[in-house]
Structure 1
Amino acid sequence: MLKIEIKTFSELTKQELYNILQLRSEVFVVEQNSIYQDVDGKDQKALHILGFKNDKLIAYTRIFKPGDYFEKSSIGRVVVAKNNRQFNYGNEIMNASINAVKTIFKVDSIHISAQAYLKRFYNNLGFKEIGEEYLEDGIPHIAMIKES
């Protein structure tokens, strides 16, 4: 089970921010071979959901209140370290993120831009596809909405 922490940008320590950026780069840039600008100026507006196993950051998302990224509240940069994916931590970090959106932002509607190959993963969490697939940073994505 993950130890979950929720922090604003200003609450993150330098080491936590470094670990977040390292994990995101390790997966989204290196593993997925996608050259894109991860440091996008949006981290300052986000709430950061950190998942620790044995005091090591192995799962992460960032969440936004309605209007800060999309019209609806949103969850993004969903990532689990490659060597920990078999333990269901993706579900854990997403459920913690969904609960944070509901309790902190007091909304039930969540918009995500999901990598297309993860559609079933997000369907199992209650998200439904809207519209057609599109390319984002060279990777097929699909918009998805969860309405509670």
Structure 2
Amino acid sequence: MTASPAYTVDVRRLEAFSAVDLYAMLKMRVDVFVVEQSCPYPELDGRDPDCQHLRLLDGKDLLACARLWRPVADAHPRIGRVAVSPDHRGKRLGEALMREAITACERLYPNEAIALSAQSHLMHFYEAFGFSPTSEEYLEDGIPHVDMLRPPSPGNA
């Protein structure tokens, strides 16, 4: 089992990023979701300004990122755009990223269930963090997905 590298956690709104840091995060998301997955879709979907963006960093090096947001006042907070840099895979950063994203959501949106739309092949990965499927499988941008929900943590409910 490979140990997780040391990292720092950074959570901020879009307007708080430097141009260089914003470019690095958006480039990584495009590299993972559009290029690597051969999935031409609108990565820049207009939602980023309404989100908190979580990054795992090793110094200035971007290891992983996720988007945290509440789409509308009566909807569950969501974790999305979960991505680990291809240069840093195999270091258990996916697990670290999800732990940090859940912690940040619980801080930002206490006593709330957390939603996400999981690529179907990753459903068991998210189940390990307490998420359960809430939909049948569906295609999103040509990739099978399933909606999932995690109830509030007992200490956070």
TM-score range, shorter chain: over 0.9
After TM superposition, list the pairs within 5 Å mapping 1:6-85 onto structure 2.
6-65=11-70, 67=72, 71-85=75-89
TM (norm. structure 2) is: 0.89
The amino acid of 1:136's aligned partner reads: E
After superposition, give the CA deviation of every residue in 1:58-116 in whole Å (9 maximum; x if it has no partner).
20001013626x81100000000123221111111111111111112223300100100
SS at match of 2:90: helix
SS at match of 2:136: strand
User: Which consecutive aligned stretches of 4+ in structure 1 deviate over 4 angstroms post-superposition?
Assistant: none
- Work out the CA distance in 2 between the residues paired with 1:106 and 1:64: 13
- Work out the CA distance in 2 between the residues paired with 1:58 and 1:5: 11
Q: Which has the higher strand share?
A: 1
TM (norm. structure 1) is: 0.94
In structure 2, list runs of 5 or more residues that go unmatched. Answer: 1-5, 153-157
Counterpart pick for 1:128 among 84, 107, 132: 132
Contact map agreement 1:65 1:101 (CA 8 A) in 2: no
After superposition, give the CA deviation of every residue in 1:5-63 in whole Å (9 maximum; x if it has no partner).
00111111111110111000110011100000000000000000011124211200010
Contact map agreement 2:76 2:112 (CA 8 A) in 1: no
- What is the alpha-carbon root mean square deviation over aligned residues? 1.4
The amino acid of 1:44's aligned partner reads: P
Q: How many residues align?
A: 147
* Greater C-alpha radius of gyration: 2
Q: Percent identity?
A: 33
